[in-house]
Structure 1
């Protein structure tokens, strides 16, 4: 397998899944700062021009959450999804909660602070996005009371997808008032399978 990615991006989420299943893969850096994601050879792999992308034989899988779910099916013995149907449903629930309720406000903040040209940045939307994130983060923080992982007694896809977002939010100081989220972040990144934190991965890119 080959993973096309760039340090500090959602590629870290795909890396987490690959490390958790102990997969044999090659990492290929696509330097976003130098525009390598816009080159014709990469656009043939992913017309959206985004990372990460996992290639496994003739299968081309973009989207970090989709990559993690693909690894669930490829390595069922690693049990990244619970066997119990009820717990599996909860893993899906929290994974989708992460990509819809937590990730979207973080993207809005990122776009309006560093991605958009200065004349297109909207400070008011940054403020609204911060409010949106904090409201949803409070729900997850409460859920994590007396829990090590989001679902069940071991790491699942819900954690692989979510913990990267908590680190992203930490970059904006959005979890300062959520001790359970802070503890969850430190606990999961202490795992030997964990990839680099966002700040470290950016420096190394």
Structure 2
């Protein structure tokens, strides 16, 4: 297997899953800052020009949530997905919650702070996106009370996706009012096979 990645991005979710599974893979860095994601050879792999990408034989898979689900299903003996339909549906529910309710406002903040040209940025949308995130973080915080993991009594791929998303929010200083979510994030990143945190990933680019 090959993982096309760039350290601070959602590639972290896939790397984390692979490390928890103990699966050998070849890591291929695609430097977004240098524009390597727009090179013709990479666009042949993913025409969207985005990361991560997993190549497993003839299968080329994009979208981090789809990739972690594929990996969990490929190695069912590792137990990163529940076998009961209801529990598996709950994993899907929280994966989608992370990707839509939490990640989208984080993307809005990033776009208007860093990614859009300065004349396209809307400072007011940063505050609105922060409010949207916190409203949904409150829902997650209530769910996580008295829980170690997002679903059930053992780790699943929902935890890797959620922990990365919360680490992203913490980088944006949006978790200060959510000690339950901060503690959960710290627990997850303390796992022996956890991926680097976003701050560590950025630091590695400067090393």
TM-score relative to the length of structure 2 = 0.97
Q: What residue in structure 2 maps to residue 141 of structure 1? A: 141
Unaligned ranges ≥5, structure 2: none
Which SS does the other structure have where 1:47 is aligned?
A: coil
Q: What residue in structure 2 maps to residue 151 of structure 1? A: 151
Which SS does the other structure have where 2:113 is aligned?
A: helix
Which SS does the other structure have where 1:49 is aligned?
A: coil
TM-score relative to the length of structure 1 = 0.98
C-alpha distance in 2, partners of 1:154/1:201?
Answer: 27
Q: What residue in structure 2 maps to residue 78 of structure 1? A: 78
Deviations along 1:35-92, whole A, 9 cap, x unmatched? Answer: 0000000000000000100000110001111110110121111111112222111111
Q: What residue in structure 2 maps to residue 53 of structure 1? A: 53
C-alpha distance in 2, partners of 1:48/1:86?
Answer: 33
1:204 Cα deviation from its structure 2 partner? 0.9
In the alignment, does 2:179 pair up with 1:182? no
In the alignment, does 2:121 pair up with 1:110? no
Which SS does the other structure have where 2:61 is aligned?
A: strand
Q: Number of paired residues?
A: 205
1:15 Cα deviation from its structure 2 partner? 0.6
Q: What residue in structure 1 maps to residue 92 of structure 2? A: 92
Moved >3 Å (runs of 4+): none
Unaligned ranges ≥5, structure 1: none
Q: What residue in structure 2 maps to residue 41 of structure 1? A: 41
C-alpha distance in 2, partners of 1:128/1:66?
Answer: 29
